[in-house]
Amino acid sequence: MTKIAQQQPKHSSVVNIGKVVSVRGSVIDVYFDECLPPIYSLLRAGEGGSIVIEVLAQLNARHVRGIALTPTQGLARGMPVEDSGGPLLAPVGKGILSRMFDVFGKPIDRLPAPQDVQWRSVHNPPPPLARRSTHSEIFETGIKLIDVLMPLERGGKAGLFGGAGVGKTVLLTEMIHNMVGKQKGVSIFCGIGERCREGEELYRDMLNAGVLADMVMVFGQMNEPPGARFRVGHAALTMAEYFRDDEHRDVLLLIDNIFRFIQAGMEISGLMGQMPSRLGYQPTMGTELSSLEERIANTDTGAITSIQAVYVPADDLTDPSAVHTFSHLSGSIVLSRKRASEGLYPAIDPLQSRSKMATPGILGERHYRLGQEIRRTLAQYADLKDIIAMLGLEQLSVEDRNVVARARRLERFLTQPFFTTEQFTGMQGKLVSLEDALYGCECILGDEFKDYPESALYMIGSVAEARLKSKSKLFVTTPKTHAGG
């Protein structure tokens, strides 16, 4: 293992040495004869300080208990432990751009360590209320369904909720592609409990797309101890705060996956012997999540806009992890397995997703009214699906049949080919402006596409493409659903 001591600068010249008295997996008890290290101090043991421990509790006047941030193979009772004299640090500065790091700020992209960087503590307080901006502004993504029905807030937090395999990471990757191309800010991707394959693929994709120059990646992989996965989010936030506060740039912080942060905290809580709360979650889950989320804010110098993937265990939105995360978000994008099975991508459920920005004062009267009408049309269609399944479309009134026709065309128009899935679908990705998306929805609700086949609106950008496809009769068909197919 490379010597982490070489990466993390030493805090103090006075050496405080203790010794290991107990090793229980990742939980280490250390005895100090004179001075007890403060909470969150880093301790180092093993050859070259390769085993790193973070102090989480002072048990009595002589003993501390910590959690290992690295594997503990080779650690034994009686081994000396050195107090580093300070907390975990993260590198900040222009030198970290286009690089990939682990929780210790060590490069994992096989390139030399960045030069000209400062090291800052990962434990920072949120910005005070006096520095926060109260101005609400829309953050365009170029994805029709999100911009029209659940617009994101600049400097806000949006969650991507969904079970396994419904497209959270694909949607995040698409947003990086769209944002870095359009905005002049910095993107920071934080992988908490990521598969190493996903990290490698994302790095290669961003490199090929030419957006890596304004991007930083920080990873705490699945196979790493819970301590490393628990702290990698704080390390990424420290980097984001540097670009916001020192460089005065807007930052897009993408976290995949916030549930893994909660899960790592749950593992640490169990290892530390805390009494579990409902469904086995840690009793301090709300506090731990708040300490991370409240640092993501819009201030007078810049904004950190965060989009977070949230794995929902068993697709249950009442799970405590999902409920606690919901409370911090200004928008929530819920991904639906049913829509994914119908071939409607992105598989966002428009009726379960919401945004606090969807008010007439922020969006304007036209956008707000249109959004309400789209939701009402889709909700009516959802209510009629059972009748259609039992009796058939013919038994509906003429008015209801028109509602179904509009809703099905809206559903297909709100699908979109992604740049990041071109190699799988063979369809060129589309970036759609908010004006084009609103105009398309207005045309469909005004029955301008009543005589067009539904497939003409599937996987297109603006409605101009539907008219073009209809003339040339080039349609991409969607699988017919049971209800109304």
Strand partners of residue 194: 221
Helix or strand (DSSP H, E) at 340: helix 337-341
End-to-end CA distance of the chain: 58
Examine the residue annotation and report whether 168 is marked as an active-site residue of this protein.
Answer: yes
Given a contact cutoff of 8 angstroms between Cβ atoms, the answer to whether 178 and 142 are in contact is yes
Q: Please, are residues 382 and 410 in contact by the beta-carbon 8 Å criterion? A: no
24, 182, 195, 369: the catalytic one is 195
Say what the alpha-carbon torsion angle 183, 244, 162, 203 is, to the nearest 10 degrees.
70
Distance CA 178, CA 1 (A): 38
Instruction: Classify 181 as helix, strand or coil.
Output: helix
Residue 298: strand, helix, or coil: strand
Name which of 67, 162, 139, 149 is nearest 373 in CA terms: 149
Q: Which of 120, 168, 229, 249 is catalytic?
A: 168
- Angstrom distance (rounded) from CA 473 to CA 332: 37
Does the annotation mark 195 as catalytic?
yes
Cα 148 to Cα 368: distance, rounded to the nearest angstrom: 9
Residue 385 annotated in active site: no
Alpha-carbon torsion (449, 450, 454, 456), positive or negative: negative
Catalytic residue among 54, 140, 174, 194: 194
- Give the whole-angstrom CA distance, residue 412 versus residue 456: 9
Please give the C-alpha separations between residue 10 and each of 37, 231, 451, in angstroms, as whole numbers.
Answer: 14, 19, 72
Question: Side chain identity at 409, as an amino acid letter?
Answer: R
Burial class (CB within 10 angstroms; exposed 0-12, middle 13-18, buried 19+) of 311? buried
Beta-bridged to residue 83, according to DSSP, are 16, 43
Q: Using only the alpha carbons of the chain, give its radius of gyration.
A: 25
Catalytic sites, residue numbers: 168, 194-195
